[in-house]
Structure 1
Amino acid sequence: MFDAGGEATRSEADMVTLVDTLQRLGIDNHFRQEVDAALKRINSCESLDDGLQIVALRFRLLRQHGVWVPDVFDRFRDERTGSFIESLASDPRGFLSLYNAAHMATPGEQALDEAISFSRRHLASMKGRLPSPLEEQVSRALDIPLARLPKRLETMHYVVEYGKEEGHDAVLLELARLDFDLLRFLHLRELKDLSLWWKDLCGNVKLNYARDRLVENYFWTCVVFHEEEYSRARMLFAKTFGLLSLMDDTYDVYATLEECHILNDAIQRWDETTASILPEYMKMFYINLFKLSSKYYLDEAKWCGEKYAPSFKEHMEVSVMSSGFPTLAVVLLMGAGDMATREAFQWEIGVPDVVTASGEVARFLNDIASYKKGKNKKDVASSVECYAKEHAWHVRGGGGDRDRGDGGARVEDD
């Protein structure tokens, strides 16, 4: 593994593979300094002798960690046609690595679009003829590419699959199993505490119309921060998400338009003097936490009550904020330890591009799922319906280019 002085003698291919293994096993947080050092070395040198699997893996890891890497796949393309060489069809691991790497594309990278289509076509044709665990990994990637799959879900699968791989490290595997079980115990204890809090809250507030989304909210929290040291962040996130969900259901499902106006007026009159004990950089967040959310929920309620059909642009200006993500992104910082500096709060409260892009992805995925499932009677027109009306568009898949916008903003903001 990362033995003393071993990094200098280890090949780049071995380093790339090791970092990927640690990430997929969910134990890279125990080796942060070593992983950072390995990534710096990986970024500083590139072997021209590496095959498609390692080249694509290097590309994906660096982009995932905020390092901009240009398209490095020209060597695998035909010089005359510009298409990928068909002889690569004999390398299923290389195809899988390319497919996952190409999903780190940013808008406009057409060559990587072609890489996705090319590798997906060949991987689909190989299904049913691959050895285990490669067969399961290909099926999983074709469903959700690795770059978009929640890390904790990949770990759940890979802890089982890694032991079947030739040359696996038994020590790493044992560490991953112990770490997974310990974290699962912690997550269950947190969920128990949150369930008791939610039961007590709902018993006092008596909002019987509200959805019970606590487990869903907590799952989303674990997708963002699953490590032990972020326990406080998870609890803050899940509770705030629960309160925002109650407010959303009140405006969206139960209250009349007149009652929505009364509720919003009451929230806007919230006593701001109670924020006096907070540092200056946190006052704005505290004051606006529910005031801004209430304003955006009211805008949507007015659209519904007045039968108003907003433009797609107008819809996104409101619904990205009502998705809750810009607010929840700040909440996560409150439990993020030393990284939550004053500068970090000020940056995130300003809703930078990466937060806006993430909010758009959350909104699109939510609205696509709702569109397929069907609307409630009081639901306002979704972003999907507004876009479809303006562009004669049909729903086919997930966040698409906006997923990439999130990735591009992440690299740029870093």
Structure 2
Amino acid sequence: MNIENLKDIIKDMFLVTDWITKLKLVNQIDMLCLNNHFETEIKETIDVVMLMYHNDGNVHEIRHDALSLRILRQYGFKVSQDVFRGFVNRGCDNNIDVQELIAIFEASHLGSESESLLDNAKILSTKLLENKFSNIKQTREALQLPLNRRVLWYDLKRRISDFKNSDEDNIVLLNLAKLNFNNVQANHHQELGILIRWWKKLGLMEHLSFTRDRVVESYLWSVGVNYEPQHKSFRKWLTKAITMVIVIDDVYDLFGSFKELECFTNAIIRWDLHEVDLLPNCMKVCLEALFSLTEETALEIQTEKGGILVLPHLKNAVHLFLILYNSFFLVLFIDSFNIVTLIMFIVGGLLQSIIYGSKVVQ
């Protein structure tokens, strides 16, 4: 069967009335990275689960409470942490199996700072997993990195294999996951080929021999942010932005003098290539590439998103990044005879990471 036939069969699975069964199906779909195929069905299910979760009047198994809390919070609903009060109050006297503990452990990572009950549930579930079930593969994987901190797409091949061998085996979901994985990977491979050709045509490596060739790593980073096929333009724009940030980072770290970097930064703030005659040719080429890429990206976004004026916002983002970047190097070079210590470079790396991360979040 093809993808569309399999999708139709799975959509029929959402017709069951038991909300716990529907919630388990949503979880399986999420874990197999199929949620973009069932957005309408998932939204309807989450709305039903949210209603039933508070109003069905039944006492549920703790694994179902944990799964409900994790999925509902994952989709943006506020759910009370009180479902874990009994678990926390019993402490080490809890007599529950490894699957229930892992469910509690995973759910406890979706708490906020003020939710001490979830913090205690996290501590207790971690302790019980380490003491009682540390020899189980699933326990080791959960403790190593909880689900909410994983890039699910990069874990998918392993999860397909685990799903195949689990008692939750659903041959239709499994077949769809395999077909979807192969299709999406093929699209990613094609996108990466286009980006590699763009990078080679840009020619920065020829003029800036000191810079790093990181277009593949940049693309993998963008896939980690959003792997779904419909977001290929986002991946292209983000990959190019990351690649350019790496080049600029190398210009600051490895090449430019303080005066050159000051001129380089001022040119970007003014968004003007005039008065850069004193800069080395490689820095001029870098500026030209940055300006061209920013304006090209703005035009592509405007075309794709329907005339939104993007360029001023992109310029402001670049300005902020460079101003903060240059401020750090001003501290380093304030005394031209200073020796830059390892600690100073570590602080600089942290600052750059914070700046970079903040732009991605925005």
TM-score (norm 1): 0.68
What residue number does 2:96 align with? 90
What residue number does 1:208 align with? 209
Aligned residue type for 1:261: E
What residue number does 1:319 align with? 351
What residue number does 1:302 align with? 330
> Are residues 154 and 57 of structure 1, via their aligned partners in 2, closer, same or farther at CA, if it must alter by over 3 Å?
farther
* Separation (CA, whole Å) in 1 of partners of 2:189 and 2:220: 11
* Separation (CA, whole Å) in 1 of partners of 2:242 and 2:167: 43
* Separation (CA, whole Å) in 1 of partners of 2:114 and 2:212: 40
How far 1:212 moved relative to its partner? 2.5
Aligned residue type for 2:355: S
Contact 2:252–2:261 under 8 Å retained in 1: yes
Q: For 1:36, which of 18, 40, 43 is the aligned residue?
A: 43
| Unaligned 5+ runs, structure 2 | 1-8, 274-291, 342-346
Cα displacement string for residues 299-335 of structure 1 (whole angstroms, at most 9, x for unaligned residues): 11112223699xxxxx89x937863234445xxxxxx
> Are residues 147 and 288 of structure 1, via their aligned partners in 2, closer, same or farther at CA, if it must alter by over 3 Å?
same
% same residue: 23
| Two-structure CA RMSD over aligned residues (Å) | 3.0
Q: For 1:49, which of 59, 64, 76 is the aligned residue?
A: 59
How far 1:209 moved relative to its partner? 2.0
**Helix, strand or coil: the match of 2:185?**
helix
Contact 1:293–1:322 under 8 Å retained in 2: no
* Separation (CA, whole Å) in 2 of partners of 1:325 and 1:227: 21
Question: Is 1:106 paired with 2:106?
Answer: no
Question: Is 1:27 paired with 2:34?
Answer: yes
How far 1:218 moved relative to its partner? 1.3
Contact 1:241–1:328 under 8 Å retained in 2: no
How far 1:20 moved relative to its partner? 0.6
* Separation (CA, whole Å) in 2 of partners of 1:161 and 1:280: 45
Q: For 1:70, which of 76, 80, 94 is the aligned residue?
A: 80
* Separation (CA, whole Å) in 2 of partners of 1:193 and 1:176: 26
Misfit runs of 4+, over 6 Å: 274-278
Q: For 1:287, which of 315, 340, 362 is the aligned residue?
A: 315
Aligned residue type for 2:194: D
How far 1:214 moved relative to its partner? 2.0
* Separation (CA, whole Å) in 2 of partners of 1:27 and 1:7: 14
Aligned residue type for 1:64: Q
Contact 1:26–1:176 under 8 Å retained in 2: yes
Mean Cα deviation higher: 277-286 or 172-181: 277-286
What residue number does 1:251 align with? 252
**Helix, strand or coil: the match of 2:94?**
helix
Mean Cα deviation higher: 192-201 or 243-252: 192-201
* Separation (CA, whole Å) in 2 of partners of 1:286 and 1:92: 49
Cα displacement string for residues 44-90 of structure 1 (whole angstroms, at most 9, x for unaligned residues): 1125332121111110111111111120334523xxxx634434343
* Separation (CA, whole Å) in 2 of partners of 1:112 and 1:296: 37
* Separation (CA, whole Å) in 1 of partners of 2:135 and 2:351: 45
What residue number does 2:286 align with? none
Query: Equivalences for 1:12-411 in 2 at 5 Å?
Result: 12-46=19-53, 48-77=58-87, 83-127=89-133, 129-130=135-136, 135=137, 137-203=138-204, 206-271=207-272, 281-306=309-334, 319=351, 323-329=355-361, 355=362
* Separation (CA, whole Å) in 2 of partners of 1:60 and 1:164: 24
**Helix, strand or coil: the match of 2:227?**
coil
* Separation (CA, whole Å) in 2 of partners of 1:93 and 1:270: 57
> Are residues 284 and 230 of structure 1, via their aligned partners in 2, closer, same or farther at CA, if it must alter by over 3 Å?
same
Aligned length: 314
| Unaligned 5+ runs, structure 1 | 310-314, 330-354, 356-414
Contact 2:10–2:172 under 8 Å retained in 1: no
What residue number does 1:339 align with? none
**Helix, strand or coil: the match of 2:155?**
helix
Aligned residue type for 2:190: R
> Are residues 251 and 322 of structure 1, via their aligned partners in 2, closer, same or farther at CA, if it must alter by over 3 Å?
farther
> Are residues 125 and 204 of structure 1, via their aligned partners in 2, closer, same or farther at CA, if it must alter by over 3 Å?
closer
How far 1:8 moved relative to its partner? 5.9
> Are residues 116 and 226 of structure 1, via their aligned partners in 2, closer, same or farther at CA, if it must alter by over 3 Å?
same
> Are residues 119 and 36 of structure 1, via their aligned partners in 2, closer, same or farther at CA, if it must alter by over 3 Å?
same
If asked which structure has higher relative contact order (CA below 8 Å, sep 6+), I would say 1
Cα displacement string for residues 236-293 of structure 1 (whole angstroms, at most 9, x for unaligned residues): 1101111112112212332121111010122222259x97987574242133243222
> Are residues 126 and 322 of structure 1, via their aligned partners in 2, closer, same or farther at CA, if it must alter by over 3 Å?
closer
Contact 1:55–1:72 under 8 Å retained in 2: no
